[in-house]
């Protein structure tokens, strides 16, 4: 783990390893606490000093792995510089600091009032080396850093990045607020896809480009063919009328010539049915995404459930990676 430890091994007059004494610093003693008997036994059994040192290194590495929260001392300048940077930035912008002053979380609000966090993992060479920055963004947060920079510079770059993603989050917030989003259930700020309910067992998955959120997104329709095909045709025929000046949701409504079910009008159970095989809605986090093509049936299934069911039927046939068989509900 790149750490240095000092120790002294005192041998008795007969130079026998088994009677040797090991003296070390209090940090090393603290780490090896609980491994005392193992080290005693190694001293007794090792033929020479070199082999004992190899054994000690192995024990030490295991001990360090089991003590993840071990506090690594940093130079005093690190702490004085970090505290000075935090005071300049303002403690009201700090959401969390760990006890070792190695992890700092900063909070910020964008121009639309959305709350965001940036987690900074600082190494002992800060500010000569930049911290690792963890953010909930759909794109990479590229930090530009010079040794004379401070937390204020990171914070300002973070704010600028938030504003550059404003239109993307505006578009997805409108979808989340005005439609029934089937997946993901609790979208993170980095999620670029939404599966939106259109009707009974019919939905569209949109993949929004974070850099160009007002452009036509990738659209994938899920549902029975007799319902999905007309929607796909409308999208293709009306694609030319996409208007980047109006919202993504309004564009989708205009192109598909539909109104999406809203949270105010309908319950989720009105259009999201459970799988006809396992009788659950969620299976390993995914909703039913295969639908019987018969207009009188339209029963949805999870792909995994349907595949397993059809594989077990003697009447099913498989062509390359597609399996054909009867619907478990209507036998069509």
| DSSP secondary structure of 225-286 | HHHHHHHHHHHHHHGGG--TTS-HHHHHHHHHT-----TTT--GGGT-PPPTTT--S-BTTB
Residues 6+ apart with CB under 8 A from 43: 17, 18, 20, 22, 52
Domain 179-272 has CATH 3.10.110.20: yes
pLDDT tens sequence across 167-199: 999 999 999 999 999 888 889 999 999 999 998
Q: What is the pLDDT of residue 106?
A: 97
Collect the ranges in the chain with pLDDT lower than 50.
none
Token pair for residue 26?
Answer: 């209090």
240 vs 278: CA distance, rounded Å: 42
Domain layout of the chain by residue ranges:
7-70, 76-170, 179-272, 273-331
| Whole-number average pLDDT of the chain | 88
CB atoms within 10 A of CB 225: 12
Confirm whether pTM is higher than 0.85. no
Q: Provide the CATH number for the domain formed by 273-331 in this structure.
A: 3.30.40.10
Contacts of 236 (CB under 8 A, 6+ apart): none
Residues 180 and 195: their CA atoms lie apart, in Å, by 9
Q: What is the CATH number of domain 76-170?
A: 3.10.110.10
Decide whether 76-170 matches 179-272 in CATH topology: yes
């Amino acid at each position: 783990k790149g750490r240095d430890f000092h120790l002294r091994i005192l041998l008795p007059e007969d130079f026998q390893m088994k009677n040797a004494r090991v003296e070390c610093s209090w940090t090393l003693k603290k780490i090896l606490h609980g491994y005392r008997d193992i080290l005693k036994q190694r001293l007794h059994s090792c033929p020479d000093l070199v082999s004992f040192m190899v054994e000690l290194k192995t024990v030490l590495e295991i001990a360090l792995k089991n003590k993840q929260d071990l506090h690594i001392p940093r130079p005093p300048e690190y702490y004085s510089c970090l505290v000075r940077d935090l005071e300049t930035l303002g403690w009201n912008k700090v959401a969390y600091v760990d006890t070792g002053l190695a992890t700092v979380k900063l909070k910020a609000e964008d121009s639309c009032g959305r709350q965001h966090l940036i987690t900074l993992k600082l190494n002992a060479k800060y500010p000569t080396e930049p911290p690792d920055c963890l953010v909930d963004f759909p794109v990479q947060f590229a930090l530009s850093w010079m040794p004379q920079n401070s937390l204020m510079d990171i914070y300002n770059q973070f704010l600028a990045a938030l504003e550059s993603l404003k239109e993307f989050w505006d578009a997805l917030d409108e979808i989340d607020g005005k439609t029934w989003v089937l997946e993901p259930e609790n979208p993170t700020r980095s999620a670029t896809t939404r599966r939106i309910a259109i009707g009974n067992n019919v939905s569209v998955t949109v993949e929004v480009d974070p850099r160009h959120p007002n452009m036509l997104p990738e659209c994938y329709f899920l549902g029975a063919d007799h319902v999905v095909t007309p929607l796909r045709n409308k999208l293709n025929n009306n694609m030319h009328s996409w208007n980047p000046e109006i919202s993504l949701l309004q564009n989708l409504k205009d192109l598909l010539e539909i109104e999406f079910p809203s949270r105010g009008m309908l319950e989720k159970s009105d259009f999201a049915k459970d799988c006809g095989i396992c009788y659950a809605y969620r299976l390993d986090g995914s909703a039913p995404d295969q639908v019987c093509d018969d207009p009188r049936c339209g029963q949805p299934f999870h792909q995994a459930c349907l595949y397993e069911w059809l594989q077990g039927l003697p009447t099913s046939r498989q062509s390359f990676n597609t399996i054909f068989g009867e619907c478990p509900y209507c036998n069509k």
